Structure 1
């Protein structure tokens, strides 16, 4: 029994169409999936964050290679390094680069209270980490935080 020319070409045509659809589909936009504030070395407190002390903020992305991630304090009572240094001197559009799916920044809250830190890649925003900051006194690599 011989297969007709159409019957033999149908599986090949279906495979080619599937490949074209797969390759031409827009790739999903990568996004920030998590933001974490590392408490560091602090003592004498119920909350590990003190105003005037510096902490590491880590934003994790969905993929390993991304162009950059913005990290902001929605309360605006803080500073970020190296963001602000580079913004003021070199590039007003600087965002921290992503290294193996993570972007890093040093965060120094300048006032006590609730701080909402957001990491984002688009104007749609991203995850928010809310931390409570008490008055603090930086001492070397650590911080003494008032209760």
Structure 2
């Protein structure tokens, strides 16, 4: 490999040519910064998507009925699987309460791009309930649940037709 000195513009320092690529000057520095930015840029993922919505017994731990397993004045756990870290808002077209709030911050794992938002849902009136889980800006999912009249015994929820 030859080590010859390269001619330079007035004011520049002489450089030795070693056969290796050298990044010099303003254009070279800009290219190096762009390359470094691309290497450390965050991963772009899909914005706000709810992929599933489930209801399961909460408190009491069992809910039993002939026509429905969901009873008014009994609490259930709503779980939404999400694909982003944005807040998740739960809504019900029937009468119900949500705890701690209807809008929650999901647990989100950036390594797997999966998250989960959970709230306690207590329907306060029997009838058809259309439940939504929505994650900003464009992801929502809904389920329909028939709620009967619930009798909360403390250890179980007895659902009357």
Q: TM-score range by the shorter chain?
A: 0.5 to 0.7
Residue 62 of structure 1, aligned match among 83, 86, 110? 83
User: Rg larger in 1 or in 2?
Assistant: 2
Q: Residues 16-47 of structure 1, C-alpha deviation per residue, up to 9 Å, x if partnerless?
A: 9xx97xx6996431311111111451124231
Residue 98 of structure 1, aligned match among 101, 106, 121? 106
| Map of 1:4 onto structure 2 | none
| Map of 2:151 onto structure 1 | 137
> How much is the aligned-residue C-alpha RMSD, in angstroms?
2.7
1:115 aligned onto 2:123: no
For 1:81 and 1:113, locate their aligned partners in 2 and report how far apart those are by CA, in whole Å.
21
Dislocated runs of 4+, deviation >4 Å:
23-27
Q: Is the 8 A contact 2:46 2:83 kept in 1?
A: no
Greater strand percent: which structure? Answer: 2
Q: Residues 68-112 of structure 1, C-alpha deviation per residue, up to 9 Å, x if partnerless?
A: 211111x1410101116xxxxxxxxxx211114111100010111
For 1:42 and 1:137, locate their aligned partners in 2 and report how far apart those are by CA, in whole Å.
10
Query: Could you say if the C-alpha distance between residues 124 and 141 of structure 1 is closer, same or farther in structure 2, counting changes exceeding 3 Å?
Result: farther
| Map of 1:72 onto structure 2 | 91
Please give the TM-score of this superposition, normalised by the length of structure 2.
Answer: 0.62
1 or 2 for the larger relative contact order (CA 8 Å, sep ≥6)?
1
For 1:140 and 1:36, locate their aligned partners in 2 and report how far apart those are by CA, in whole Å.
23
Q: Is the 8 A contact 2:80 2:118 kept in 1?
A: yes
Query: Could you say if the C-alpha distance between residues 62 and 141 of structure 1 is closer, same or farther in structure 2, counting changes exceeding 3 Å?
Result: farther
The alignment covers a number of residue pairs equal to 118
Tell me, which stretches of 5 or more residues in structure 1 are unaligned?
A: 1-15, 85-94
For 1:132 and 1:41, locate their aligned partners in 2 and report how far apart those are by CA, in whole Å.
17
